[in-house]
Amino acid sequence: MTMSLDGYVAGPNQSVTNPLGEGGQALHDWAFAVRTFRKMHGMEGGTTGPDDEIVAESLQNIGATIMGRHMFGGGQGPWGDNPWKGWWGDNPPFHTPVFVLTHHGRKPLEMEGGTTFHFVTEGIQVALERAKKAAGGKDVSLGGGADVAQQYLTAGLIDEMEIHVVPLLLGDGARLFDNMGGRQTSYERVRVVNSPAASHYKYRRKN
């Protein structure tokens, strides 16, 4: 998850048309610049170096992904007659099962390239159980956003965190570590990689 220097993972006033909030898209400029990220989104070119290596590493051994309704998009409430199919077009970049946490049920959505979105209404534990089964022994990636990450962190269900801090000041928005009661202190830093565009921190839950 990418975080601004003042601690925000999304800007203020998030909406259907502006899911990352005002200024939030700039959080990910570092990722859009690198070759691996661009390739996975069907784009050409891109830089190499430490930022690219971090992205490439993050994609290794992923067997399933969990995300919140806001990250998947489409607004709140029932899905309607012509439901939203995500931000990523017909061939999303996941290429694995994706479990979307939502209050409104929906049939699985099978896309090109091996991505199938499953809509889970039974909460974070059930989503994790289904994702782990689908992953078949590989890692489960937690895509976000902040509220979903907080729920899993509070429940002690996250083994590792990769936080990319960028030199951007948003001033307001959604914070990753709000409402945590200090539970983030149960993680220890195991690596830092710096570049001009971002500082990449890896934390692992203490034994």
d(CA 35, CA 55): 9
* Least confident among 16-20, 33-37, 70-74, 175-179: 16-20
- For 185, which DSSP code? G
Residue range 156-163: mean pLDDT, rounded = 96
Domains and CATH numbers, the chain: 2-12+19-79+86-205 (3.40.430.10)
- 200: pLDDT strictly greater than 90: yes
User: Whole-prediction pTM value?
Assistant: 0.93
Please report, for residues 63, 112, 146, 180, the alpha-carbon distance to residue 89 in angstroms, rounded to integers and kept in the order given: 21, 9, 23, 34
pLDDT at 110 over 90: yes
* 55 backbone dihedrals φ, ψ, rounded to 5°: -60, -45
Q: What is the pLDDT of residue 16?
A: 79
Q: Which two tokens stand for residue 115?
A: 């991505």
- Judged against a pLDDT cut of 90, whether residue 76 lies above it is answered with no
pLDDT beyond 90 at 201: yes
3 state DSSP class of 155 = coil
Return d(Cα 172, Cα 133) in angstroms, integer: 38
Q: Which amino acid is at 23?
A: G
In whole angstroms, what is the distance from residue 184 CA to residue 26 CA?
25
State the Cα angle at 77 between 76 and 79, rounded to 5°: 100
The mean pLDDT value of the chain amounts to: 95
Confidence class for position 19, pLDDT limits 50, 70, 90: confident
- Residues 125-152: pLDDT tens digits? 999 999 999 999 999 999 888 999 999 9
pLDDT at residue 207, as a whole number:
81
pLDDT at residue 15, rounded to an integer: 83
pLDDT of amino acid 141: 97
- Give pLDDT, residue 179: 86
Handedness of CA 68, 70, 73, 79 (dihedral sign): positive
Per cent of the chain over pLDDT 90 is 88
Decide if pLDDT at 18 tops 90.
no
Buried b / exposed e over 35-54, threshold 16 CB at 10 Å, is bbbbbeeeeeebeeeebbeb
